[in-house]
Structure 1
């Protein structure tokens, strides 16, 4: 019996290699190297014939278990529709994901072929347009995908209310004025979004901030990292890119214009969806703060303490974009 109840364990590299050997028909032996540890554990896997793959081992998150069944089904649908994405590699028995036992409980794994190409540049308008085009292609293909059975819906409860509660209850913010400020911002944002008529609902990538992609030789943005996806607001899927260009002191709004130009070259955006994306920048920031707040006992309060300072950004974004509509 363990003296301590683990919240999050890190498997040995050798164990990951054996696990992949067991479940996947790759050229043996395989070598593994951890790329990152965080919301998920991600490994570079190289087979003996030189072929390279990425293995993602899902983390237990506050929202619940990873919905790898819907995610891998959606990726397979996108690949069949010609959308440039990193599709899952089937196991020996044809499954698109696997499950292994860790001390904290079962964890799901998915193997992907490594996406070739370069990292997108944060200041390259061509890369921004490429991201917009691929997101539009993805949304077109999503119209013929059935998300029935999806575990998560990217609605206001998932994106705003639950994260706000995690921030409030984490104890990371001791200033009552800041807590009150966040409460007011969240309430105003929810009311404003709920007042829109007929916002488009689509299967979302959920994390299209511009860097969950590689730019291939054809100039396409090849998407990966769909584990925050699900049926949700199209305006939110657009907003994540804008949020990445304006949050944490950044001022890269020309990249947003290029991104939207790329999207509109493939697919139109309704005026309400476009306007709502500005509001969803606030929602996205709450979502991120909530994710970090939920990790306080794992990562430590020093690592996640930055969220106590973020009311200033949210207030500034409101004042800049909705000063005549605050209520």
Structure 2
């Protein structure tokens, strides 16, 4: 069997992007296209004669169908949230032909490009009860709006297959079955799944989720509203999983975390219900999220990250973290 060569993820030249996209949008004359951020996707800041915009270039793993799902969701949410008091979302810009995206040819394959409105505002670090209460209200409004949209396009779910089974397969393939950590990781994943299954029998809140509710994706604030964006991972899942990512925000002091979380929960429950069982499940989903992140690390080693920083120290750090999680006795 021959192995076909593949290209590593490239950074597309801003001049190429301007040439390829400037006539696609009715947003004025392009004045600058600046490579802004390398994350899971690549972000460019575009300045034109009519203002500032954000251009996202998705990695090759994101298909046109994935982007169609995200843009359909954004369009529906914008309508549902039209009169929301605490919540808004980042909007994408339609092209002149009334479509939402362009497929670009990169060295590594096809990559989808979408233009978004630039969000003016301030990042709120959620470091006080008032901010956390307000964010809780906004997260609840977002979930409430997601209950009202009608997504007909096919989509995966944020289920145990995606959160645990698939990451475990990638991790073990990377470190090898003979690695001394492999047996522990198998046991840990199995036990974590059993715990979540047992908890989910209590009829946890399950519905459309943001999927990546953390950091700048959700805490950018304009006056009294939080602006939610980057819905790349949006799919049906447990709402406790969505909120788990907020509970472990690293920018909050350890001494204040409990009080801030209580304030966030109070704000959330002022808008929609979130049972005691849902709240108890949050800590389990914090651990599941970390396991998913470990698997995500592995997913990008060959095409993006390189193996240098993902050796024994990286593995030992995750294993230690999971041992301290009190999942496996």
Q: Which residue of 2 aligns with 1:260?
A: 265
Query: Do the aligned residues in 2 keep the contact of 1:58 with 1:66 (CA within 8 Å)?
Result: no
* Cα distance in 1 between the residues matched to 2:80 and 2:151: 16
Q: Look up the match of 2:73.
A: 74
Partner-residue secondary structure (3-state), 1:90: coil
User: Which ranges of structure 2 fall in alignment gaps of 5 or more residues?
Assistant: 82-86
User: In 2, are the aligned partners of 1:160 and 1:186 still within 8 Å (CA)?
Assistant: yes
**CA 1:151–1:102 in structure 2 vs 1: closer, same or farther (change >3 Å)?**
farther
Q: Residues 222-259 of structure 1: CA distance to partner in whole angstroms, max 9, x if unpaired?
A: 11111111111212111111233599x99834332232
Structure 2 CA distance for aligned equivalents of residues 124 and 252 of structure 1: 10
- 1:304 counterpart = 2:307: no
Counterpart residue number, 1:105: 109
Deviation at 1:14, TM superposition (A): 0.5
RMSD, matched Cα = 2.6
In the alignment, does 2:199 pair up with 1:191? no
Rounded to whole Å, the distance in 1 between the matches of 2:68 and 2:227 is 21
Q: Distance in 1 between matches of 2:251 and 2:179?
A: 25
What SS is found at the alignment partner of 1:46? strand
**What TM-score do the two structures reach when normalised by structure 2?**
0.87
Give the TM-score normalised by structure 1: 0.87
Local SS of the residue matching 2:18: helix
Aligned pairs, how many? 315
Q: Alpha-carbon deviations, 1:39-73, whole Å to 9, x = none?
A: 10011111123x11111111134x87771111111
Return the match for 1:161 from 141, 161, 165. 165
Q: What's 1:222 paired with?
A: 227
1:172 to 1:295, Cα distance in 2 relative to 1, 3 A: farther
Q: Which moved more, 1:37-46 or 1:303-312?
A: 303-312
CA 1:251/1:126 → structure 2, altered by over 3 Å: closer, same or farther?
Answer: closer
The residue correspondences of 1:125-204 to structure 2 (distance < 5 A) are: 125-171=129-175, 175-176=179-180, 178-195=181-198, 196-197=200-201, 198-204=203-209
Cα separation, 2, equivalents of 1:124 and 1:96 = 38
| Secondary structure, counterpart of 1:80 in structure 2 | helix
Deviations 1:250-281 (A, max 9, x none): 98343322322221121110232222111111
* Residues 218 and 309 of structure 1, relative CA distance in 2, 3 Å threshold: same
Give, in whole Å, the separation in 2 of the partners of 1:147 and 1:311: 38
> How big is the shift at 1:110?
1.5
Q: 1:120 to 1:20 in 2, by over 3 A?
A: farther
Q: CA deviation at 1:158?
A: 0.9
Q: Does the 8 Å contact 1:66/1:227 carry over to 2? A: no
- Per the alignment, do residues 186 and 241 of structure 1 end up closer, same or farther by CA in structure 2, a change over 3 Å counting? same
C-alpha distance in 2 between matches for 1:244 and 1:7: 31
How far off its partner does 1:201 sit? Answer: 1.8
